[in-house]
Amino acid sequence: MRRLLSRLVVRRPRLGYAVASALDRAGRRLGQSDRARWRGEVFRQCFRASAPDPFPAVFRGSLPPLPEPPMVLVSLHIGSHRAVGRLLERLPAPVFALADAVPRPRPSVNAFAIGDSPSLRLMGMKLALDELRAGRFVFLFIEGGKSSAVQVTIYGRSHGLARGPFVLARLAGVPVLPLAARWRGGKVQYTLGRPIEVADEATMAAAVAGWFDDYMSAHPDVLGGPLGAPFRRAS
């Protein structure tokens, strides 16, 4: 059942998420390992250049003002996070994306898969720091933090955010910018936060958490999918 649902999410994302959400509400919650696997699959699809574009109408509406590099861009797997890749393509400078698993990059998005290997994590951070120092963007989804996390509260629940993105921002002396995407009718609406200036990791992470807290409060629909479950408030 879960395999079928995963395929459906990949091929028909909106329908897949609607079905998954309905199942989720019915109590068939995904386990943590399933969510992690699902998240990896979603990220692969997000950056796969050969995949059919599931968001053809994304940029027919108006875009928010786009940020100027260098900057660390961060997001969570909420809302229509698969559309984030489309936004990254349209930024005014190349983007370096760090992810658990990425087979192929999008145009102007150079993705690096760090996986579980400590040496690959070090390589990824080194490349990301070089990109920031060269005046480019770095993008990461920031849930978890496998080896190093900073604890924050988002939407009334405690979460660990990856510490690496904030350390990169501090070392490069560049701001952090949270962003998110959500379905609105047949289009995707992108929302960008304000740049969070360099500070210690806990301060920057708290500011990012505060922005996502406000975003979720304003748009609770972004927590509808199975990946949004960890962020939903207990009823």
Partner 1 sequence: MSVSANDLDALAELISTSWPDRLEGVILHQDLELGEGGLGLDSVDAFELLVACEDRWGRPMTEALLKSDPLTVGLVVEHFAAA
Site for partner 1, rule CB under 8 A: 118-119, 121-123, 125-126, 129, 147-148, 163-164, 167, 171
Q: State which residue, 170 or 187, has the beta carbon closest to partner 1.
A: 170
- Three-state SS for 119? helix
Least spacing, CB of residue 169 vs partner 1, in Å: 12
Least spacing, CB of residue 206 vs partner 1, in Å: 18
Least spacing, CB of residue 92 vs partner 1, in Å: 27
The span from the CA of 52 to the CA of 71, in Å, is 29
Least spacing, CB of residue 202 vs partner 1, in Å: 13
DSSP label at residue 231: G
Q: State which residue, 121 or 219, has the beta carbon closest to partner 1.
A: 121
Least spacing, CB of residue 157 vs partner 1, in Å: 23
Least spacing, CB of residue 163 vs partner 1, in Å: 5
161, 152 contact by CB (below 8 A): yes
Q: State which residue, 49 or 123, has the beta carbon closest to partner 1.
A: 123
DSSP label at residue 143: B
The span from the CA of 108 to the CA of 131, in Å, is 13
Q: State which residue, 117 or 217, has the beta carbon closest to partner 1.
A: 117
Q: State which residue, 160 or 220, has the beta carbon closest to partner 1.
A: 160
Tokens of 194: 């304000």
The span from the CA of 55 to the CA of 47, in Å, is 13
Tokens of 85: 């890749």
Q: State which residue, 30 or 150, has the beta carbon closest to partner 1.
A: 150
The span from the CA of 231 to the CA of 175, in Å, is 25
